[in-house]
Amino acid sequence: MNFDMSPYGIFIWSTYGLTVLALAALTFWTIARWRAVKAKLAALEKI
């Protein structure tokens, strides 16, 4: 694998950085919401 991006490194790494950040946040937010709702339902079903 070749990680030498010169002379366009700033554009390429910015694209990948932004993508990883956006998709990781989206995945985290989606899973966190799923877990929260699941826990709320479990608590309600116990009552």
Partner 1 sequence: MFDWLFRYANPARFMGLSGKLLLWLAAATVLTLGCGLYLGFSAPPDYQQGRTVLIMLIHVPAAIVMELAYGAMVVASLFSLVNRHILADVAARTAAPLGAIFTLLALAAGSFWGRPMWGAWWVWDPRTTSTLVQFFLYLGYIALWNAIEDETRAARICAVLALVGAVNIPIIKFSVEWWASLHQGESLVSGKIAPVFLWPLLLMILGFTLLFVCLWLVRIRTLILERRVRSLMGAA
Residue ranges that bind partner 1, judged by CB under 8 A? 1-8, 11-12, 14-16, 18-19, 22-23, 26-27, 30-31, 33-34, 37-38, 40-41, 44-45, 47
Q: How far is the CB of 39 from partner 1 (least distance, A)?
A: 10
Q: How far is the CB of 23 from partner 1 (least distance, A)?
A: 7
Q: What tokens appear for 23 in the block?
A: 């998709």
Q: How far is the CB of 26 from partner 1 (least distance, A)?
A: 6
**Residue 7 carries which side chain, given as an amino acid letter?**
P
- Residue written as token pair 């790494």: 13
Q: What tokens appear for 47 in the block?
A: 């009552």
Helix and strand numbers (H, E) in the chain are 1, 0
